[in-house]
Amino acid sequence: MNYNRQDYLKNVKRVVIKVGSSGITHSNGLINFNKMEHLCQQIADIHNRGIEIIFVSSGAIGAGMGKLMFKERPRTIPEKQAAAAVGQGILIHLYEKMFSEYGITIAQILLTREDMGSKNRYLNGRFALSALIEKNVIPIINENDAISVEEIKFGDNDNLSALVACMVEADLLIILSDIDGLYDKNPSLFTDASIINFVDKIDKSIEEFAGGTLSNVGTGGMITKIRAARVSTSSGIPMIIAKSDEPYVLDKILSFNDLGTFFKPKIVPLKKEKRWIAFASKANGSILIDDGAKNALTEHHKSLLPSGILNISGNFSHRDVVNIIDTKNKIIARGITNYSSSDLEKIKGIKTGDIEKVLGIKNYNEVIHCDNLVII
């Protein structure tokens, strides 16, 4: 498909840049100072052009590995926490030293899944990042591996960078990796593999192209980058995967060079108030609906009414986020409920006009209003 990358990038003013562990470390986990210095130089130059930068950096566990003499990436959560606790200090100290040479002030922000899943903390994070950007500071963001446990981890910084891009309403997300883009087959196994330069839509065929990571230091493979692209493009933000080792890769990308793989943003993106519901929030329960309600939601963009509810799972409160499940046990939507799970158990399957008779009060006609509902 013919396309002009310049059409999508010519008005970029705010960029989220994510670098994987392999982009700043050697294969043994120790910091690669040449890579790190070159990356900081590029970011500083872009910053001096007047483009706002939010930098998501992996590498804390990798940096800690070298200091703690780990010969391979730690497998247990406590070992990862220990490596990250040591490595974060090393990493941010080096970034501060390198960026200060260019007169740039940086700030460190560590996030967990809970920070994104809480609406108040999500908004507080947005306000903090906006204040830093206004002060001409480059925020450097990483997952807080030192205190995270498995159930609250993002799992990879690809997903984190996409959520951050949504949070700050970026114009572009760049993911720098150990591979120079998405291929039609695994390039480490097939010599005839071809890079996919442009992705118009993320479908099953694109997901099938995604293989595993080539690095023994990082955690994210190509599939995590495809998931990040889905979050980013659904929010109207184009995304590019490119190789971190490419000389002056960031300058080339922002000069409209066709490096890597470009993911086209959706023409009609999710509204920004719905992005948190769709991608960042944590579901506290689920609502099973019948086929009639499913059709009303997915085909006619209606609100969810109690008459279409078959069953309730989980213990949730008024204003919590819940998943909407169809009769095939597939998640079809996510939304903010107007009623608690205990109240929904009482009113499921009834007409809206009967809510007050059952509960003694009716604050809402809808269980989930269409304005607070996102079709997955």
Q: Report the percent of the chain where pLDDT is more than 90.
A: 66
The correct CATH number of 283-375 out of 3.50.50.60, 2.30.130.10, 3.40.50.300, 3.40.220.10 is 2.30.130.10
Residue 53 has pLDDT above 50, yes or no: yes
Q: Which CATH class is domain 5-274?
A: alpha beta
Residue 207 has pLDDT above 60, yes or no: yes
Band of residue 185 on the pLDDT scale cut at 50, 70, 90: confident
How high is the pLDDT of residue 197?
92
How high is the pLDDT of residue 370?
95
How high is the pLDDT of residue 247?
94
* 70-91 confidence digits (pLDDT tens): 878 788 888 888 888 999 999 9
- What residues does CATH 3.40.1160.10 cover in the chain? 5-274
* 281-298 confidence digits (pLDDT tens): 989 999 999 999 999 999
- Helix ranges (H only) for the chain are 5-9, 33-48, 60-67, 77-100, 113-117, 119-134, 157-168, 204-209, 222-234, 249-254, 272-275, 291-300, 341-347, 355-359
* 106-150 confidence digits (pLDDT tens): 999 998 878 888 889 999 999 999 999 999 999 999 888 767 665
Residue 223 has pLDDT above 80, yes or no: yes
The answer to whether the beta carbons of residues 44 and 294 sit under 8 Å apart is no
Mean pLDDT of 224-233: 93
- What residues does CATH 2.30.130.10 cover in the chain? 283-375
What is the residue-averaged pLDDT of the chain? 90
Q: Which residue has the tokens 């010969």?
A: 71
